[in-house]
């Protein structure tokens, strides 16, 4: 450290040393003169005693800075000076490295934040996610790794494996402090949540086991630090304040530590609510204590010295006993024999979860890794290009280098000089990359889905990221510099000195290999870009199966505003009426489950046709009002749509399906359903029952067939079944066809909503086009980024190829001159040069194609309607690459053919 400091104060050190030595010399000379020596003799003696002054200085300098460090610094200065002399070379190299390093750093930043980063809690490495592998035979609310609340309570007793176990569910609540209310991200948690994670309060207290006793008994909330700061202006008297959660009064008991943002990086909660308050936090939810309702993720903290595998094995006996006990409980006993078998075959899995649990991670891991690999390839390409450029400079500088070798520089020393060249370029590129990375991260974050809950992703640079960029730059510098450095060490001295323009250089073989590799990499990236673009365009062309222009959808949740079922029902009917009579709308309908959001209501159906059978996979179910299909513009291809008589169930018993006047239940299925279960026969009149239980009564009649429309995503085509929405309308998704501009439609619809209740919680409000855009975010991101990478890679390789071919032409100027003088035609000269380029292109392509075939598996799941080895894409990409590459090679080739033989022969 001291030595590095010495570098910066070396001027002063030098001055001091000079003065010090001068003092010594003067004193010694004076003394010697006093003892009778004549002055010249005295000076000679002193010089002899001290040894050479220059050597002495060198020796002392080596103490200030170790030798290699000094040399390295001098090398860097030398490199910097020589780079400043060729600014275009430097700019190209730094820019390409900067782009590569910036892109890699940006993706690493996201991967780090979403996939790798451990939670800021005590010993995150001991956290595990506890998951049920197999068939749970339970109603599902949520996305992934779900279990019931009672299982979490059971697991807390497994003290020989766990220090503690907690469960949580991410939800949205209507939060208000009396005046304004807004939809707010919240987390329902067990009383053990904070203690197991080891989070401390910033203010007041956190939730404890006392808050986890009797359902409905603990109306308390804990606020997140950021929410407290933003919403309450960091009020110190926050503890004890009353707030309203879905119009239920609750008390703030504390604020969590500032660093803690929940356990899901994609969904940061503002409020934590005890799980026992689930009935208040999720209106209509009253099955918290039901073992057949799965809605929470369970995480545990392993005891110290307990291994994951050990705990997983150790838990199985308890788990099997629980399964066995479950089969004797009432509702599961009605399951079919097959379901029972699958249920009993379930196991319990422990998954390391130092990063917590995140749906975002679940969904985006693969696309992010694919993109990361692409950026690394891009960076490697840039490296190769810089290596090629340095090699080219190396050949231009070979006389300088040979002279230095002849004057006694070691080969290692010359190699180090060339390495310093590439290091300097890489560090400059790294600096540029670090500047660009935050911009790129921000752009990438914009591609991720955004809901009520903010995500915790940041675009700023932290030390980890800077370290990453620095290491990448170092690796880049080494990679780009090692080939030229090794090359410099290999050349024999006398041959190099004797070399003249026109003798082929040995660096050329290496440059050819580099360009060939670049072409291979580029082709892979271009093909990948082609595949992703075709996927996106295929999905856009396919669309959701209905006309999305001039369609708006919005969701309301009156229950979050304290509405009773009957009040909510009346409100929704009133809004529907007003929408229908409004002049700016051309039809509106309601669906229970929102379309194109990635989720669905799934269940098996029992079909009573000529024989009775159960659907071999779960059917996607939705409930809609009459006119839903007409509003969307989806055609009924057989039978009829629902009418208001189909949905008249007066008794409104929980979970029973609506009946019509004659006590008949009705259903509409889609084409895919007919194809799979009726083999294209007419399904009208067939009877169906919800569920797969042996006692399920097939009393629902299929009255219509609708064409296939997208439900979960544009990509998916699945069997669907629709029920009419009964009188119990709750939490509804409206679909409105409008006239005129979206803006005016938004205004008039908002007016209708605020007319009926100004504080009505609106969960979302957007056009269907926007909804489709959102649902295709991943595809859009992959297509946009892979095309960018493909284009950049193509540019980089073309520059590389052009550079090598220009170099070849320069080297062979004399030879070409002789050929021309002897009567070679211009065409044959062009061919002479192009042949070289063609070989590189052909070999590169030959390397790339098997790689594409092998890498296809990695991206297969991201593609739609196109195979990874799709011949059209592969052929078109190869064509693009080959033609542009030939174009790049043609420029130097034409230059060769235009050479004037006399000039060419005079070239030294």
Partner 1 sequence: MPSSRFPIPQGTLDMLILQILSLEPAHGYGIAQRLEQISKSVVQVNQGSLYPALHRLEQKGWLKADWKESETGREAKFYSLTRSGHKQLQVEKASWVRLTGAVQLIFDEGAAE
**Chain residues in the site for partner 1 (CB under 8 A):** 2-3, 16-17, 19-21, 23-24, 26-28, 49-51, 55-56, 59-60, 63-64
Residue by residue, DSSP assigns 856-904 as HHHHHTT-SSS-TT-HHHHHHHHHHHHHHHHHHHHHHHHHHHT--HHHH
Residue 159: its H or E element: none
What is the SS3 assignment for 67-84? Answer: HHHHHHHHHHHHHHHHHH
Residue 454: φ, ψ to 5°: -70, 150
Shortest Å, Cβ 32 to partner 1: 12
Residue 717: φ, ψ to 5°: -120, 120
Residue 766, both tokens: 């957007």
Residue closer to partner 1 by CB (options 17, 684) is: 17
Residue closer to partner 1 by CB (options 3, 230) is: 3
Shortest Å, Cβ 50 to partner 1: 5
What spatial distance separates the first Cα and last Cα of the chain, rounded to whole Å? 50
Residue closer to partner 1 by CB (options 32, 276) is: 32
Q: Give SS3 for 250.
A: strand
Shortest Å, Cβ 67 to partner 1: 13
Residue closer to partner 1 by CB (options 25, 614) is: 25
Give the number of other Cβ atoms within 10 Å of residue 537's Cβ.
15
Shortest Å, Cβ 68 to partner 1: 16
Residue closer to partner 1 by CB (options 19, 906) is: 19
Q: Are 128 and 354 in contact (CB under 8 A)?
A: no
What is the SS3 assignment for 382-431? Answer: HHHHHHHHHHHHHHHCHHHHHHHHHCCCCHHHHHHHHHHHHHHHHHHHHH
Q: Give SS3 for 568.
A: helix
Shortest Å, Cβ 41 to partner 1: 17
Shortest Å, Cβ 56 to partner 1: 6
With DSSP H G I counted as helix, E B as strand and the rest as coil, what are the percentages for the chain, rounded to 5? 55, 15, 30
Shortest Å, Cβ 38 to partner 1: 21
Residue closer to partner 1 by CB (options 64, 864) is: 64
Shortest Å, Cβ 25 to partner 1: 9
Residues facing residue 721 across a β-bridge: 621, 669
Distance CA 197, CA 189 (A): 12
Shortest Å, Cβ 73 to partner 1: 17
Shortest Å, Cβ 48 to partner 1: 9
Residue 224, both tokens: 């997140």
Residues facing residue 601 across a β-bridge: 621
Q: Are 473 and 427 in contact (CB under 8 A)?
A: yes
Residue closer to partner 1 by CB (options 61, 458) is: 61
Task: Please report where in the chains the tokens 């290009």 appear, as a residue.
Answer: 385
Which regions of 293-346 does DSSP assign to beta strands (E)? 293-294, 297-302
Q: Are 712 and 596 in contact (CB under 8 A)?
A: yes
Residue closer to partner 1 by CB (options 18, 567) is: 18
The conformation of residue 147, written as its DSSP 8-state character, comes to B
**Residue 613: which residues within 8 A CB-CB, separation 6 or more?**
606, 607
Distance CA 136, CA 222 (A): 32
Shortest Å, Cβ 75 to partner 1: 23
Give the number of other Cβ atoms within 10 Å of residue 427's Cβ.
19
CA distances from 763 to 272, 557, 712, 838 (A): 20, 7, 18, 59
Q: Where are the alpha helices (DSSP H) in 543-678?
A: 565-581, 628-632, 671-678
Shortest Å, Cβ 69 to partner 1: 13
Q: Are 657 and 723 in contact (CB under 8 A)?
A: yes
For residue 631, give the nearest of 714, 705, 548, 710 by alpha carbon: 548
Residue closer to partner 1 by CB (options 48, 214) is: 48
Shortest Å, Cβ 161 to partner 1: 52
Residue closer to partner 1 by CB (options 34, 81) is: 34
Residue closer to partner 1 by CB (options 12, 867) is: 12
Residue closer to partner 1 by CB (options 50, 322) is: 50
Shortest Å, Cβ 13 to partner 1: 9
Shortest Å, Cβ 413 to partner 1: 23
Shortest Å, Cβ 36 to partner 1: 17
Residue closer to partner 1 by CB (options 23, 68) is: 23
Give the number of other Cβ atoms within 10 Å of residue 500's Cβ.
9
Residue closer to partner 1 by CB (options 25, 851) is: 25
Residue closer to partner 1 by CB (options 1, 309) is: 1
Residues facing residue 172 across a β-bridge: 185
Residue 284: its H or E element: none
Distance CA 388, CA 403 (A): 23
CB-facing half-sphere around the CA of 104: CA atoms within 13 A: 31
The conformation of residue 124, written as its DSSP 8-state character, comes to G
Shortest Å, Cβ 17 to partner 1: 8
Q: Give SS3 for 59.
A: helix
Q: Are 273 and 187 in contact (CB under 8 A)?
A: yes
Distance CA 347, CA 349 (A): 6
Distance CA 237, CA 845 (A): 70
Residue closer to partner 1 by CB (options 48, 337) is: 48
Residue closer to partner 1 by CB (options 63, 827) is: 63
Residue closer to partner 1 by CB (options 18, 865) is: 18
Shortest Å, Cβ 20 to partner 1: 5
């Amino acid at each position: 450290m001291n030595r590095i400091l010495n570098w910066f104060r070396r001027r002063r050190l030098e001055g001091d040393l000079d003065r010090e030595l001068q003092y010594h010399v003067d004193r010694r000379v004076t003394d010697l003169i006093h003892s009778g020596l004549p002055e010249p003799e005295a000076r000679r003696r002193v010089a002899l005693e001290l040894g050479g002054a220059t050597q002495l200085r060198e020796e002392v300098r080596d103490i200030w800075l170790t030798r290699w460090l000094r040399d390295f610094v001098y090398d860097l200065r030398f490199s910097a000076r020589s780079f400043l002399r060729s600014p275009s070379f430097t700019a190209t190299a730094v820019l390409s490295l900067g782009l590569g390093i910036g892109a890699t750093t940006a993706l690493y930043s996201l991967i780090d934040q979403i996939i790798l980063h451990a939670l800021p809690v005590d010993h995150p490495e001991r956290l595990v996610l506890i998951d049920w592998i197999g068939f749970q035979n339970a109603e599902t609310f949520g996305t992934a790794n779900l279990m019931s609340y009672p299982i979490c309570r059971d697991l807390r007793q497994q003290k020989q494996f766990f220090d503690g176990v907690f469960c949580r569910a991410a939800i949205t609540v209507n939060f208000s402090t009396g005046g304004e209310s807004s939809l707010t991200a919240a987390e329902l948690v067990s009383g053990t949540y904070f203690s197991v994670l080891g989070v401390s309060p910033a203010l007041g207290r956190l939730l404890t086991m006392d808050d986890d006793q009797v359902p409905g008994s603990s109306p308390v909330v804990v606020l997140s630090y950021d929410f407290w700061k933003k919403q309450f202006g960091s009020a110190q008297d926050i503890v004890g304040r009353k707030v309203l959660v879905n119009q239920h009064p609750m008390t703030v008991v504390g604020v969590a530590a500032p660093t803690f943002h929940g356990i899901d990086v994609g969904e940061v909660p503002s409020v934590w609510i005890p799980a026992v308050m689930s009935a208040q936090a999720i209106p209509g939810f009253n099955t918290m204590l039901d073992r057949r309702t799965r809605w929470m993720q369970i995480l545990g903290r392993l005891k110290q010295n307990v291994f994951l595998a050990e705990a997983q094995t150790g838990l199985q006996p308890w788990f099997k006993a629980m399964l066995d006990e479950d089969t004797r409980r009432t509702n599961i006993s009605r399951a079919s024999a097959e379901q029972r078998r699958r249920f009993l075959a379930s196991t319990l899995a422990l998954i390391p979860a130092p990063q917590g649990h995140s749906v975002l991670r679940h969904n985006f891991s693969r696309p992010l890794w694919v993109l990361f690999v692409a950026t690394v390839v891009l960076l490697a390409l840039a490296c190769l290009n810089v290596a090629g450029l340095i090699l080219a400079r190396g050949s231009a500088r070979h006389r300088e280098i040979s002279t230095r070798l002849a004057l006694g520089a070691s080969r290692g020393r010359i190699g180090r000089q060339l390495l310093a060249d590439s290091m300097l370029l890489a560090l400059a590129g790294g600096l540029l990359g670090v500047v660009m990375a935050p911009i790129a991260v921000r752009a990438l974050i914009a591609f991720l889905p955004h809901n009520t809950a903010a995500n915790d992703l940041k675009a700023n640079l932290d030390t980890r990221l800077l370290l990453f960029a620095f290491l990448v730059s170092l690796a880049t510098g080494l990679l780009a510099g090692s080939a030229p450095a090794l090359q410099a060490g290999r050349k024999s001295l006398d041959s190099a000195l004797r070399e003249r323009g026109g003798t082929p250089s040995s660096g050329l073989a290496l440059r050819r290999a580099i360009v060939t590799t670049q072409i291979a990499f580029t082709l892979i990236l271009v093909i990948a870009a082609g595949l992703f673009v075709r996927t996106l365009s295929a999905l856009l062309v396919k669309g959701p199966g209905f006309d999305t222009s001039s369609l708006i959808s919005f969701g309301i949740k009156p229950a979050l505003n304290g509405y009773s079922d009957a009040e909510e029902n009346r409100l929704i009917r009133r809004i529907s009426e007003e929408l229908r009579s409004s002049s700016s709308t051309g039809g509106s309908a309601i669906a229970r489950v929102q379309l194109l959001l990635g989720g669905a209501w799934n269940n098996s159906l029992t079909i009573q046709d000529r024989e009775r059978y159960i659907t071999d996979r779960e059917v996607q179910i939705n409930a809609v009002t009459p006119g839903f299909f007409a509003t969307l513009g989806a055609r009924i291809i057989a039978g009829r749509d629902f009418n208001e008589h189909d949905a008249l169930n007066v008794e409104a018993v929980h979970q029973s399906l609506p009946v019509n006047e004659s006590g008949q239940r009705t259903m509409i299925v889609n084409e895919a359903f007919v194809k799979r279960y009726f083999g294209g026969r007419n399904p009208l009149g067939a009877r169906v029952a919800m569920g797969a239980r042996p006692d399920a009564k097939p009393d629902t009649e299929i009255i219509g067939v609708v064409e296939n429309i997208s439900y979960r995503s544009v990509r998916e085509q699945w069997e669907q079944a629709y029920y009419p929405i009964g009188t119990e309308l709750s939490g509804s998704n409206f679909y409105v066809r409008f006239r005129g501009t979206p803006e005016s439609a938004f205004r008039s619809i908002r007016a209708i909503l605020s007319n009926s209740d100004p504080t009505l919680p609106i969960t979302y409000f957007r056009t269907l086009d926007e909804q489709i855009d959102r649902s295709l975010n991943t595809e859009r991101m992959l297509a946009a980024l892979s095309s960018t990478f493909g284009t950049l890679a193509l540019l980089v390789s073309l520059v590389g190829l052009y550079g090598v071919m220009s170099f070849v032409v320069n080297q062979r100027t004399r030879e070409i001159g002789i050929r021309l003088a002897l009567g070679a035609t211009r065409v044959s000269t062009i061919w002479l040069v192009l042949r070289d380029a063609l070989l590189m292109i052909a070999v590169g392509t030959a390397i790339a194609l098997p790689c594409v075939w092998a890498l296809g598996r990695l991206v297969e799941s991201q593609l739609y309607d196109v195979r990874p080895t799709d011949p059209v894409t592969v052929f078109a990409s190869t064509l693009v690459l080959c033609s542009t590459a030939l174009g790049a090679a043609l420029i130097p080739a034409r230059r060769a053919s235009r050479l004037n033989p006399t000039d060419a022969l005079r070239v030294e």
